[in-house]
């Protein structure tokens, strides 16, 4: 586990008992997979079933992937087979089948549905293709390793920070991501565990679909309904936070503490401008490099931990607060860049993510 | 137990304000042929559709084979031994001949599995009985109109009915096909089958009917044995007065030449038609259904593109056109035969219907001038005595006659020099019909030239200054006023070797 | 010798009036009922702030629904507008890159591209006789694909500050609301008071009769698709200003919602019947439902169910009004 | 132009008829052949047995629903709710099965029963309340999705072990699911050709009034056709459960649009009365092979959408639909 950032929050045994997710993650942290059955000589053909064309986060993940493969060289990874799921499980399931039909040496999967991808993952393993889950988990335990972070703790930390900042008697709102998507569901679970454990009743809890437009629509109604009773908002991501900020701007009201920013340049720009307290977590798209490293490690037959927290490899992905906003804001990045970025600036420029100096 | 196989007692039916049938009673005995006659819109088809279960009567009762019938569906009626040949062809054009003949009652094994062999062999046998040879696998869309009519008849025969209704089965049949039909009717009658035969061809009625029922304006005029009738009496019963009174005449002289069509053909049955049209005259076009009269009208109007030949005005700088918009600009108007699907905007108000082709006259820079429009609509309403609650009433809620007047009014507003009327009195009651005739004459008096297509020979003969006869897409003859007779026209219209090849 | 007897005519007119009343005002009756329900369930709805929010959000749907209504009037349908929203927001951000002075050119470019999409829809529907459903669905995939190829997956650039004016409110008035009302006024005028409007209804009511009346049917149908796309661009600009940055999921679901709004508002699916007055009520109905659901803290899933039931209920009303005797 | 006109002119009637009827289908299969040639020359793995059987199995998922959709469209109807029903069926079957072999029968029965019920409700609204199928099923799309998400927004239930293994089982070289699809294709084709019900679909879509006057039991046929379409969605829901092992509400959005696209590409007329099973299969395969090839060829992801759009638009614009 990790306990950076927020003070005072401890995962209790009760929480572990209540959460299959926590049980799974905590048990896998110390578990090591014997990968000798997968060992072979390089170069490797690695299949990457990506979230694909959907948003900047995913585009940057793909960019990191292509860059990193190039960086590793052809004698390590000879080919990266790619599947673009367009963020839909319906598309990803057959795509994984198509990728497996090409008999890759390993499969890196950013699952678009925890259950939808369970059986496909198991079938890959059965076929002898080691699976690295990237950024999200699936329902089955039959894969080699998962690269991610303890999302329960993330959600809980965000909630705890909010309580610490506002006080336990505050009125809080929660805006989650897409109903049913694991990342959203687990963060919500962690947050609710904290709120409940301290007897806090929320004003409301609605899904904002990780969309600034949805986030803004809901926030506008909340503002009309609760006005300045609102003392703090928990949210599952920076895009929704942007919608929330925008609704406050329109209403001309002061923005309360927001738990759930990210190193997302647009968010940071407004946050610096308005100067409200926030707590940001990180879900770096650069974690794909960790996933690729894990896949190579597996193919080299080295024992591999079954849960790899990206923070151990990407220290720049630690949470931060408004106090460090200036350090994380990059004037040269366009609004939708999600940090941290580990590839060189030229790659960002190639993709059109760098702002022209004149602008 | 009565001797009647069918009694329809005191049947009434109205459609959105049109009283189609009022208190009509008919009785039929087995093994007899009943002629059912009356003018267009008299209610003949409606009565038969009520019998068929296609419409529900507002009042009255049906007693069939001694039992009172209540709210039967079309399928139940067929199963009970009644089969109907509808006036409008009732076939699914995408489906094959055999599938159409047995639609709804396919020979089958268990579980609804079709016996295709029997389907086709029985269909072929039926068609042979009608004296034609057709591939029963061919979709109906590939057949000529006459062939389709024969398929309809085969369909009725396939049902082994005790009572067969034929609603104008002969309208598109001629010569040997017609003879074949009559001999089949005779053999059916011998087997005890009852026939109700609807036709505008009174000769046929006299040839086969045992008894004749006359309807007029939805009411029963009389039922009489055929031997107590002669032709003039029957006509008088139908129309209510001697025939020649209903056609108004004008005494004008033939005007100047306004329009010529030279050797026009279109992508339809129409081939190499030429005609001249003079100011102030009515040029009648006669022919059997399917002879290409409608296609001629559409070609003249630019609605179907010409594949060869030319249509132009002699006046108006010799304008010619290639689409309806330009034809209208040049001074043409077309009142199509199929009012519902080609003439009327049923979901729109009467006002919009009337002013649609003359929008430029009632708009300034594209903006409607309501006062100008009101005046035009009001004037049109007066001139044609259109009965409607308000100009904003939707066209679909007007009676048939008023709908037809609406379409006429629309075209008259364009101040045309040439008006093409395709079946202008179809489905119009007798009063309105008379008004339409008067109106046509008024147009003539204003120098407007009229092309009138009609399936009613008396109408064509009575109204036209000249008559062209069409047969299989070609113009095959011309009669001057006073020279035409029904027999003469029919002879030309049904001549077999004029390029027509029905089967 | 009169054509219709007087008493029949009276009966017929009464029937027509009754049906016309339900057809014209049915949706307003439903709206009224909903507002009454709101007075009990969610009194918050009647506060100025809430009304402002409802109106501003309704405008986004409302502007698209104007175009959708036009297209439905000619018996068409437009599913491609989802692609147009995304395209608009990308063009705005890409062309201006945050510069206020480039907003007008950006909007013009977006309108031109939108018109092109509408033209594609119209040509497929008229010249190739592709059913509108499939034609516009194909265009949707195509537009989304083209946008994707152009941006290489990364919608870049900034939304200019000046578009933020769409977020200002004066009491209940806001720019989107004014735009919506203005466009409604313009298109009500066009539909009701101009030759073009007459032709739109005529084409929808009976295509062949319209052609035989000298109307250039294909031109009217194509123009309506182009207008629909341009209105989608307008809505896209408002949405872009509303969100403040480029969002790939911008306006998701508005295509089906706009169809629902128009149909619930009494525009016939088969064309030639209906109009904007009903669509406005349809839009308000749908927007109120979702705002009320939020005010009541109802789950999103319950909203789906309620929306479906309301559509069915409203349409049942019309189908009852149209039953032949 | 002239030459081709003369060529067509020289064809016999039945050849002309054949071409008119099956022309679009040839076009679709022509497209497929082109894709095969591209695949065979550009990718060494496209033409492997493994990939082809993979594509065959995948096609079942779109294909079975597309068959149901085609039946509805033949009657001039449409079903927009199939995607939501697939979603609901996945959840229902996963919950009832709950990982137990003993519950398999109950789960299958419950899911099919659900499909049947939904289809009958559609039939009722179209037949008795006389609402246009588009509106009925549009509303149903929202309602069924709402119900699904009310049941659960996160994965629920699970498939039994044998049920999961069903997905990978083969009959000879063919995945059993592909065989099942083939069987349904055959059954549907036989039904359309050799049963009264099949003929009635064409009759109702071809000319509703004529069908009514001929005594075709229109309401019964409509109930049947909406029930079959919904059943096809339920069956597909069951197949998805076998594919995933767990009930995931993330699946099912947009299936309605894909099926309609496939059916139309296959030459079925949205106006009803015209369409074939072989054409629908062509539409399904075209979409499936395109998706497969995009992955196989490693086509740049940013142009994938564009390519799909071009193929769809080209396929539907290729031939004129016949209107009324
Ligand atoms: N479905 C309908 N809706 C409204 N009016 C109708 C309908 N069917 C028939 N009518 C009207 O009812 C009257 C009787 O029509 P019907 O078709 O029975 O006449 P008909 O005697 O068969 O005439 P024809 O000799 O022209 O076939 C006409 O005025 C017609 O316009
Ligand atoms: N290729 C074709 N396929 C199917 N039907 C056709 C075709 N060509 C013509 N017809 C049918 O044949 C008839 C063409 O003749 P047309 O309508 O011109 O005859 P008409 O002399 O005007 O007779 P009426 O107006 O009395 O029907 C139409 O009823 C049309 O439906
Ligand atoms: Mg009749
Ligand atoms: Mg005609």
Note the pLDDT tens digit of each residue in B335-368.
998 777 788 898 889 999 999 888 888 888 888 8
Residue C11 touches partner B, C-beta closer than 8 Å: yes
Query: Best of A90, A110, A137 to disrupt the D interface by mutation (most D CBs within 10 Å)?
Result: A90
Nearest to C206 by CA among B202, B410, B151, A127: B410
Touching B: C residues 208-237, CB under 8 Å:
208-216
* pLDDT (0 to 100) of residue A67: 94
CA distance D83 to D232: 11
Domain of D78, in residue numbers: 49-253
| Residue B48 Cα: closest atom of ligand 1 | 18
Q: Which letter, b or e, does each residue of B264-282 get, where b requires 16 or more Cβ atoms within 10 Å of its Cβ? A: bbbeebbbebebebbbbbb
Mean pLDDT of chain A: 89
- For chain C, the structural domain boundaries read 26-321
Q: Give per-residue pLDDT as tens, A109-125.
A: 999 888 889 889 999 99
- The rounded distance, in Å, linking the Cα atoms of D225 and B441 is 56
Domain-located, residue D293 = no
Chain B contact present for D152, CB below 8 A: no
Ligand nearest B399 Cα, by number? 1
**Per-residue pLDDT at C7:** 43
| Residue D136 is assigned to a structural domain of this protein | yes
- For residue A2, the model assigns a pLDDT of 42
Tokens representing C172 are 């209940």
Q: What is the DSSP letter of B92?
A: -
Please tell me the distance from the alpha carbon of residue A226 to that of residue A170, in angstroms, as a whole number: 13
| Min Cα separation B96/chain D (Å) | 10
CB-closest option in A86, A102, A113 to D248: A113
CB contact A114 to D (< 8 Å):
yes
Residue D10 burial by Cβ neighbours in a 10 Å radius (0-12, 13-18, 19+): exposed
pLDDT band at B252 (very low <50, low <70, confident <90, very high): low
Give the pLDDT confidence score for residue D9 in this predicted structure: 44
| Residues in chain B within 8 Å Cβ distance of C13 | 389, 393, 397
pLDDT band at B481 (very low <50, low <70, confident <90, very high): confident
Question: What pLDDT is recorded for position B496?
Answer: 62
Q: What is the predicted pLDDT for the residue at C269?
A: 82
Asked, for residue D12, whether it belongs to a domain, the answer is no
Tally of CB atoms within 10 A around D147 = 19
pLDDT category of residue D324 using cuts at 50, 70 and 90: very low
Sign of CA dihedral D178, D184, D190, D193: negative
Strand-pair category, A32-33 with A304-305: antiparallel
Does C112 or A355 have the greater pLDDT score? C112
Strand pairing partners for A82?
A48
With residue B7 as reference, give the H or E element that holds it. Answer: strand B6-15
Q: In what order do the strands lie in the sheet with B219-225?
A: B67-69, B59-64, B6-15, B18-28, B219-225, B211-216, B33-38, B194-198, B163-167, B82-85
d(CA B45, CA D249) in angstroms, rounded, equals 56
Residues contacting D183, CB < 8 A, separation 6+: none
Q: Please give the pLDDT value at position B430.
A: 59
Inter-chain CB proximity A62 and D254 less than 8 Å = no
Residue B179 or residue A274, greater confidence: A274
Residues with Cβ–ion distance below 5 A, ligand 4:
B 293-294, 337
The Cα D77–Cα D135 span in angstroms is 11
Q: How far apart are CA C63 and CA C176, in angstroms?
A: 9
Residue nearest to atom 19 of ligand 1 (CA): B41
Residues from C contacting A (CB-CB < 8 Å) are 44, 47, 49-50, 52-53, 56-57, 97-99, 148, 151-158, 164, 167-169, 239, 242-252, 291, 294-295, 297, 300-301
Mean pLDDT confidence for B188-213: 89
Evaluated on CA atoms B166, B170, B172, B176, the torsion sign reads positive
The complex's ipTM? 0.83
Neighbours of chain D (3+ CB pairs under 8 A): A, B, C
Return the number of other C-beta atoms located less than 10 Å from residue A235's C-beta: 29
B285 Cα–ligand 2 center, Å: 15
Band the pLDDT of B225: cuts 50, 70, 90.
very high
> From the CA of B50, which ligand is nearest?
1
Q: Please state, for a pLDDT cut of 70, what percent of chain A lies above it.
A: 97
User: Where does ligand 2 bind, in terms of residues with CB under 6 Å?
Assistant: B 145, 268-269, 287, 289-295, 337, 423, 455
* Smallest CA separation from ligand 2 atom 24, residue: B289
Residue B317: phi, psi to the nearest 5?
Answer: 55, 30
Q: Do the Cβ atoms of A334 and C169 come within 8 Å?
A: no
Q: Which residue in chain A is spatially nearest to D254 when comparing CA positions?
A: A90
Which of A285-294, B373-382, B482-491, C201-210 shows the lowest per-residue confidence on average (mean pLDDT)?
Answer: B482-491
Q: Could you tell me which of C261, C279, C266 has the C-alpha nearest to residue C315?
A: C266
CB contact under 8 A, A98 and D296: yes
> For every one of its 325 residues, what pLDDT tens digit does chain C have, with 9 covering 90 and above?
333 343 444 555 566 566 667 666 778 888 888 899 888 988 888 888 889 889 988 999 999 999 999 999 999 999 999 899 989 998 998 888 888 889 999 999 999 999 999 999 999 999 988 889 889 999 998 998 888 888 776 666 678 888 888 888 788 889 999 999 999 999 999 999 999 999 999 999 999 899 999 999 999 999 999 999 999 999 999 998 888 877 767 777 788 889 989 988 888 888 888 899 999 999 999 899 888 888 888 877 788 888 888 888 888 877 776 644 3
Would you call A113 and D48 a contact, using CB atoms and an 8 Å cutoff? Answer: no
Strand A106-109 vs strand A44-50: parallel, antiparallel, or unpaired? parallel
Residue B367, chain C, CB below 8 Å: the answer is: yes
The structure tokens 């044998």 sit at: D162
Q: Is the pTM of this model over 0.90?
A: no
Residues in Cβ contact with B365 at an 8 Å cutoff, skipping those fewer than 6 apart: none
Structural class in CATH, domain C26-321? mainly alpha
Contact assignment for A221 to C50 by CB distance below 8 Å? yes
Chain C stretch 267-296, residues whose beta carbon is closer than 8 A to a beta carbon of chain D? 269-270
Q: Are 3 or more Cβ–Cβ pairs between C and B shorter than 8 Å? A: yes
- D213 domain residue, yes or no: yes
Question: What percent of chain A stands above pLDDT 90?
Answer: 61
Cα(B485)–Cα(B300) distance, rounded to whole angstroms? Answer: 26
Q: In the predicted model, is pLDDT for residue A357 greater than 70?
A: no
Q: Would D212 be classed as within a structural domain?
A: yes
DSSP for D142-193? HHHHHHHHHH-SS-EEE--HHHHHHTT-EETTEEHHHHHHHHHHHHHHHHHH
Closest residue in C to B363 (Cα) is: C195
Pocket test for ligand 2, best of B289, B425, B455, B490 (most atoms within 8 A of CB): B289
Q: Cβ(C211)–Cβ(B298) under 8 Å?
A: no
Q: In a mutagenesis test of the B interface, which of C2, C3, C5 is the best target, namely the one with the most B β-carbons within 10 Å?
A: C3
Instruction: Quote the number of domains for chain D.
Output: 1
pLDDT digits (tens, 9 = 90+) for D212-239: 888 899 999 999 999 999 999 999 999 9
**Structural domains of chain B sorted by starting position, each given as residue range(s) with its CATH number in brackets:** 6-239 (3.40.50.300), 245-331+416-503 (3.40.50.300), 346-414 (no CATH)
Residue B288: its pLDDT value, please?
Answer: 79
B265, B267, B284, B294: residue to mutate for ligand 2 pocket, most atoms within 8 A of CB:
B294
Say if A and B touch: at least 3 Cβ pairs within 8 Å. no
Does D208 map to a domain? yes
pLDDT digits (tens, 9 = 90+) for B146-164: 788 889 889 988 888 899 9
């Amino acid at each position: 586990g990790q306990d950076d950032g927020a003070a005072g929050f401890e995962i209790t045994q009760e929480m572990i008992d209540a959460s299959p997710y926590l049980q799974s993650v905590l048990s896998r942290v110390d578990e090591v997979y014997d990968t000798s059955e997968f060992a072979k000589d390089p170069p490797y053909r690695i299949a990457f079933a990506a979230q694909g064309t959907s948003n900047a986060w995913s585009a940057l993940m793909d960019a990191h992937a292509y860059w990193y493969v190039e960086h590793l060289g052809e004698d390590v990874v000879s080919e990266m087979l790619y599947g673009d799921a367009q963020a839909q499980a319906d598309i990803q399931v057959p795509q994984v089948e198509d990728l497996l039909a090409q008999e890759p040496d390993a499969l890196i999967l950013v699952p678009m549905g925890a259950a939808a991808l369970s059986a496909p993952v198991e079938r890959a393993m059965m076929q002898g293709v080691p699976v690295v889950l990237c950024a999200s988990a699936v329902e089955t335990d039959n894969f080699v390793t998962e690269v991610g972070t303890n999302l329960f703790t993330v959600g809980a930390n965000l909630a705890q920070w909010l309580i610490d900042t506002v006080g336990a008697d505050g009125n809080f709102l929660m805006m989650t991501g897409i109903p049913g998507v694991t990342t959203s569901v687990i963060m919500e679970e962690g947050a609710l565990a904290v709120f409940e454990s301290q007897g806090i009743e929320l004003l409301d809890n609605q899904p904002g679909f990780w969309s600034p437009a949805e986030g803004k629509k809901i926030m506008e109604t909340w503002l009309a309904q609760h006005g300045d009773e609102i003392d703090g908002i928990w949210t599952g991501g920076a895009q929704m936070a942007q919608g929330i900020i925008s609704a406050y701007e329109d209403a001309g009201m002061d923005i309360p503490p927001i738990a759930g920013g990210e190193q997302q340049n647009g968010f940071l720009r407004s946050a610096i401008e308005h100067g409200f307290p926030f707590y940001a977590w990180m879900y770096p798209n650069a974690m794909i490099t960790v996933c690729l490293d894990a896949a190579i490690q597996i193919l080299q037959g080295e024992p591999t931990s079954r849960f790899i927290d990206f923070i151990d490899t990407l220290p720049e992905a630690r949470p931060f607060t408004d106090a460090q906003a200036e350090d994380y804001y990059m004037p040269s990045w366009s609004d939708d860049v999600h940090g941290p970025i580990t590839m060189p600036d030229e790659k960002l420029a190639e993709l059109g993510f760098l702002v022209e100096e004149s602008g | 137990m009565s001797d009647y196989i069918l009694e329809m007692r005191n049947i009434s039916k109205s459609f959105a304000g049109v009283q189609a049938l009022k208190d009509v009673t008919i009785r039929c005995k087995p093994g007899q042929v009943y002629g059912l006659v009356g003018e267009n819109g008299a209610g003949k088809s409606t009565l038969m559709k009520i019998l068929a279960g296609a419409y529900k009567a507002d009042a009255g009762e049906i007693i069939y084979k001694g039992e009172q019938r209540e709210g039967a569906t079309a399928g139940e009626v067929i199963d009970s031994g009644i089969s109907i040949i509808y006036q409008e062809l009732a076939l699914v054009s995408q489906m094959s001949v055999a599938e159409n003949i047995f639609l709804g009652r396919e020979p089958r094994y268990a579980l609804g599995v079709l016996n295709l062999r029997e389907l086709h062999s029985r269909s072929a046998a039926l068609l042979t009985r009608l004296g034609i040879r057709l591939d029963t696998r061919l979709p109906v869309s590939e057949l000529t109109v006459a062939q389709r009519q024969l398929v309809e008849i085969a369909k009725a025969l396939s049902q082994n009915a005790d009572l067969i209704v034929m609603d104008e089965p002969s309208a598109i049949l001629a010569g040997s096909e017609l003879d074949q039909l009559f001999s089949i009717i005779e053999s059916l009658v011998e087997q005890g089958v009852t026939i109700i035969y609807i036709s505008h061809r009174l000769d046929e009625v006299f040839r086969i009917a045992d008894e004749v029922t006359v309807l007029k304006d939805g009411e029963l005029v009389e039922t009489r044995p055929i031997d107590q009738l002669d032709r003039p009496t029957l006509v008088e019963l139908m129309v209510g007065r001697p025939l020649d009174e209903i056609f108004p005449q004008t005494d004008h002289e033939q005007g100047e030449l306004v329009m010529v069509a030279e050797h026009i053909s279109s992508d339809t049955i129409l081939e190499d038609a030429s005609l001249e049209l003079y100011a102030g005259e009515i040029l009648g076009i006669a022919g059997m259904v399917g002879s290409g009269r409608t296609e001629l009208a559409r070609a003249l109007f630019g609605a179907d593109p010409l594949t060869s030949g030319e249509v132009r005005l002699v006046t108006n700088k010799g304008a010619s056109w290639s689409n309806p918009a330009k034809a209208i600009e040049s001074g043409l108007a077309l009142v199509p035969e199929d009012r519902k699907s080609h003439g009327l905007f049923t979901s729109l108000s009467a006002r919009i219907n009337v002013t649609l082709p003359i929008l430029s006259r009632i708009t300034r820079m594209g903006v409607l001038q309501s006062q100008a429009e009101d005046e035009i609509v009001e004037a049109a309403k007066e001139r044609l005595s259109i009965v409607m609650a308000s100009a904003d009433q939707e066209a679909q809620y007007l009676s048939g006659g008023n709908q037809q007047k609406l379409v006429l009014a629309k075209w008259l507003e364009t101040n045309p020099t040439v008006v093409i009327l395709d079946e202008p009195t179809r489905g119009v009651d007798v009063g309105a019909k008379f008004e339409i005739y008067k109106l046509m004459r008024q147009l003539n008096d204003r120098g407007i030239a009229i092309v009138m297509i009609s399936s009613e020979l008396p109408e064509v003969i009575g109204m036209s200054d000249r008559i062209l006869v069409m047969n299989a897409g070609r113009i095959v003859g011309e009669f001057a006023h006073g020279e035409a007779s029904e027999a003469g026209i029919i002879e030309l219209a049904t001549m077999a070797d004029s390029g027509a090849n029905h089967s | 010798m009169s054509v219709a007897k007087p008493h029949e005519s009276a009966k017929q007119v009464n029937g027509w009036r009754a049906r016309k009343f339900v057809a014209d005002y049915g949706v307003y009756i439903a709206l009224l009922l909903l507002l009454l329900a709101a007075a009990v369930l969610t009194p918050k709805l009647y506060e100025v702030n809430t009304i402002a929010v409802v109106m501003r959000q309704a405008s986004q749907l409302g502007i698209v629904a104007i175009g959708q209504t036009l297209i439905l009037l000619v018996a068409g349908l437009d599913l491609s507008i989802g692609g147009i929203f995304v395209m608009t927001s990308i063009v705005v951000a890409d062309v201006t890159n945050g510069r206020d002075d480039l907003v007008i050119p950006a909007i013009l470019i977006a309108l031109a591209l939108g018109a092109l999409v509408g033209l594609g829809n119209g040509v497929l529907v008229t010249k190739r006789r592709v059913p509108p459903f499939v034609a516009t669905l194909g265009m949707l995939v195509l537009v989304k694909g083209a946008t994707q190829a152009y941006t290489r997956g990364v919608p870049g650039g900034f939304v200019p500050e000046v578009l933020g004016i769409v977020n200002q409110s004066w009491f209940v008035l806001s720019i989107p609301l004014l735009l919506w009302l203005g466009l409604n006024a313009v298109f009500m005028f066009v539909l009701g008071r101009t030759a073009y409007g007459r032709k739109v209804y005529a084409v929808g009511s009976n295509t062949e009769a319209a052609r035989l009346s000298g109307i250039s049917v294909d031109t009217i149908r194509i123009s309506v698709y182009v207008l629909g796309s341009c209105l989608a661009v307008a809505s896209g600009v408002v949405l872009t200003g509303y969100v403040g940055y480029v969002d790939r999921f911008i306006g998701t679901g508005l295509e089906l919602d706009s169809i629902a709004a128009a149909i619930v508002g009494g525009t016939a699916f088969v064309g030639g019947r209906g109009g904007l007055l009903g669509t406005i009520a349809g839009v308000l109905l749908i927007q109120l439902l979702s705002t009320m659901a939020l005010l009541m803290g109802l789950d999103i899933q319950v909203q789906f169910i309620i929306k479906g039931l309301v559509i069915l209920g409203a349409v049942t009303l019309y189908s009852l009004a149209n039953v032949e005797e | 132009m002239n030459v081709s006109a003369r060529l067509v002119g020289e064809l016999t009637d039945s050849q002309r008829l054949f071409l008119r009827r099956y022309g679009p289908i040839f076009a679709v299969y022509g497209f497929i052949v082109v894709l095969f040639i591209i695949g065979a020359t550009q990718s060494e793995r496209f033409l492997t047995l493994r990939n082809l059987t993979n594509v065959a199995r995948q096609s079942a998922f779109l294909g079975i629903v597309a068959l149901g959709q085609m039946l509805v469209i033949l009657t001039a109807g449409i079903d927009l709710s199939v995607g939501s029903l697939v979603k609901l069926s996945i959840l229902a079957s996963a919950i009832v099965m709950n990982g137990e072999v003993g519950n398999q029968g109950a789960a299958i029965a419950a899911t099919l029963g659900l499909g049947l019920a939904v289809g009958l409700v559609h039939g009722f609204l179209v037949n008795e309340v006389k609402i246009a199928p588009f509106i009925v099923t549009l509303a149903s799309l929202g309602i069924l999705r709402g119900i699904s998400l009310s049941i659960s927004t996160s994965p629920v239930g699970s498939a039994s072990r044998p049920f999961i293994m069903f997905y990978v089982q083969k009959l000879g070289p063919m995945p059993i699911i592909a065989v099942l699809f083939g069987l349904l294709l055959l059954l549907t084709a036989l039904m359309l050709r050799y049963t009264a019900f099949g003929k009635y679909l064409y009759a109702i879509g071809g000319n509703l009034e004529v069908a009514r006057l001929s005594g075709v039991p229109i309401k019964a046929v409509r109930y049947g056709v909406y029930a079959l379409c919904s059943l096809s969605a339920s069956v597909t829901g069951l197949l998805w459960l076998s594919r995933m092992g767990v009930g995931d509400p993330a699946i099912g959005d947009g299936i309605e649009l894909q099926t309609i696209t496939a059916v139309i590409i296959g030459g079925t007329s949205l106006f009803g009365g015209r369409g074939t099973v072989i054409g629908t299969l062509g539409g399904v395969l075209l979409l499936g092979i395109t998706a497969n090839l995009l992955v196989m060829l490693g086509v740049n992801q940013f142009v994938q959408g564009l390519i799909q759009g071009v193929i769809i638009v080209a396929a539907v614009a290729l031939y004129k639909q016949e209107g009324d």
